[in-house]
Amino acid sequence: MSAEAPAARGPRSLLSRTGRPDFLRSPKVFRTEVLAGLVVALALIPEAISFSIIAGVDPSVGLFASFTMAVVISLVGGRKAMISAATGAIALVIAPLNREHGLGYLVAAVILGGVFQVALGAAGVAKLMRFVPRSVMVGFVNALAIMIFMAQVPEMTDVPWPVYPLIAAGLALMVLFPKVTKAVPAPLVSIVVLTVITVAAGIAVPTVGDKGELPSSLPVPGIPDVPLTLDTLTLIAPYSFAFALVGLMESLMTAKLVDEITDTRSSKTRESVGQGVANIVTGFFGGMGGCAMIGQTMINVKTSGARTRLSTFLAGSFLMVLCIVFGPVVSDIPMAALVAVMVLVSVGTFDWHSVRPRTLRRMPLAETVVMAVTVLVVVATHNLAVGVVVGSVVAMIAFARRVAHLVDVSGVRDPDGHQVVYSVAGELFFASSNDLVHRFDYAGDPDDVVIDLSRAHIWDASSVAALDGIETKYAAYGKKVTVTGLNEPSAAMHDRLAGQLTDAH
């Protein structure tokens, strides 16, 4: 079954198929979406500021990017309930450009990166997601959980001692409060309670305000301050293309994860195009660009229970309202409260079933290795996209090795001894066909050799070349080879390539 879903059209992106907004179907859904958006907005602020520091730009650049990304992606029809904002992966890609050439070139690269994403999405690159194996997906999820936790470690080291009981209290509140009521998201309750405690008691702990100054006005659209020349395009294009690939990889993997959590489908092509449009708009508003934000998406979907694009839209809207209108209040939120939220998210995100001894004993060794490699590469590089690519390559190699040994060759001689019929069964491709040449008795077979491929399929030129090699070896002994039983696709490839792959012919 395809992972693609029919895309809704333009302005109806916030609407259901009936034309009625999903969030207006019931007051409970509306309340859930609003409160989820508020929780995510609060969690976005320190993250966006931190990623701005990584990229070497003013905190407002990251906050503006988070605002425009979330709002635009909800309007152009991104994955329901998925949060897109400024991210660490994107910051790492564009940081060298900003450091060496300035903010104008960074913004220009974001806009061009968005154009690349639209083009790649329209070209169908999102369909490549079907080739990501489950073991890579599990490794991606587990690595994500580890990285979310690791990102909180700096907030728990070399800090005043009250930070630790505050984190513990926040975790306890989020675990216990849902047993009382689920009408209000437990993370929001935890943030409010801990903020009130620290302010009322005058407890000196790191706060959101310590991360950087919050903006006091909305972003204004404009053109990047760079020369519009071929030299500029040549300079920013490599960064923009890397930006586009990393952003799409993280966004599509996150969308696939949300699909599984919510048991719904989403259009990955539409998501790719939407990410591009959001980044183009973000660039013209002076933002640093972004992609799907996995930790905040988990807060929105798993922790807060959001299911529509309203929560995404409100997350971005609330972010600006909180910064501009309630900046002094937001600045007083203790980082311990947000750390507690993210720690709980990391624990809930990790697939604990995948590492149970009973599961590992039953799982094929290759699947476990692929999962472990994905986790290790992601944690080592701090790049989810690199981990997914490496994990997928390892999975393909493991698959090729496994399938390569599934080709069976059996020979039967005629009673009179003048002919031998070899029956070949299995999938013939570059890995399996390499061994095929060594499965025949060239010297001992009779003069008439028949190779029956009715139970085989030719997938590539390597297999045709292997059959040519077999015929050549038999010809050296003066023997004739007849290939029979080819299905239609295999026959077409064999007829087109046989005898054409080596200079000897």
The predicted structure's pLDDT at residue 1: 37
The predicted structure's pLDDT at residue 19: 54
pLDDT digits (tens, 9 = 90+) for 158-189: 999 999 999 999 999 999 998 888 778 888 88
pLDDT digits (tens, 9 = 90+) for 273-322: 999 999 999 999 999 999 998 888 988 998 888 999 999 999 999 999 99
Query: Of the candidates 242, 303, 247, 306, which has an alpha carbon nearest to the alpha carbon of residue 279?
Result: 247
The sign of the dihedral angle between the CA atoms of 127, 132, 138, 144 is: negative
Token pair of 93, please? 């890609």
Report the C-alpha gap between 289 and 65 in whole angstroms: 6
Of the candidate ranges 199-213, 228-242, 373-387, the one whose mean pLDDT is the lowest: 373-387
Strands 84-85 and 448-458, sheet pairing: unpaired
pLDDT digits (tens, 9 = 90+) for 5-39: 444 444 444 554 545 566 556 788 899 999 999 99
Mean pLDDT score, 363-389: 88
pTM score, whole prediction: 0.73
* Mean pLDDT of all residues belonging to the chain: 87
The predicted structure's pLDDT at residue 96: 86
Q: Which residue has the higher pLDDT, 106 or 137?
A: 106
Q: What is the dihedral of CA 127, 131, 135, 136, to 10 degrees?
A: -60
Report the C-alpha gap between 258 and 297 in whole angstroms: 8
Rounded to a whole number, what is the distance in angstroms from the first to the last CA of the chain? 44
Report the C-alpha gap between 44 and 201 in whole angstroms: 26
Token pair of 420, please? 């031998």
The top-scoring range by mean pLDDT among 100-109, 347-356, 415-424 is 100-109
Residue 504 predicted with pLDDT over 50: no
Report the C-alpha gap between 338 and 328 in whole angstroms: 17
Residue 423 predicted with pLDDT over 90: yes
The sign of the dihedral angle between the CA atoms of 182, 185, 190, 193 is: negative
The predicted structure's pLDDT at residue 6: 41
Number of neighbours of residue 467 by Cβ within 10 angstroms:
23
Strands 408-413 and 84-85, sheet pairing: unpaired
Q: Using DSSP, state whether 105 is helix, strand or coil.
A: helix
- Tokens 């995510």 locate to 40
Beta-bridged to residue 428, according to DSSP, are 458
Query: Of the candidates 247, 296, 316, 298, which has an alpha carbon nearest to the alpha carbon of residue 275?
Result: 247
Q: Using DSSP, state whether 451 is helix, strand or coil.
A: strand
Report the C-alpha gap between 239 and 107 in whole angstroms: 11
CA distances (Å), origin 247, targets 189, 290, 314, 408, 415:
32, 7, 22, 44, 66
Q: Which DSSP string do the residues of 300-342 spell out, in sequence order?
A: IIIIS---SHHHHHHHHHHHHHHHHTSHHHHHTSBHHHHHHHH
Calculate ∠ Cα 6-279-308, nearest 5°: 45
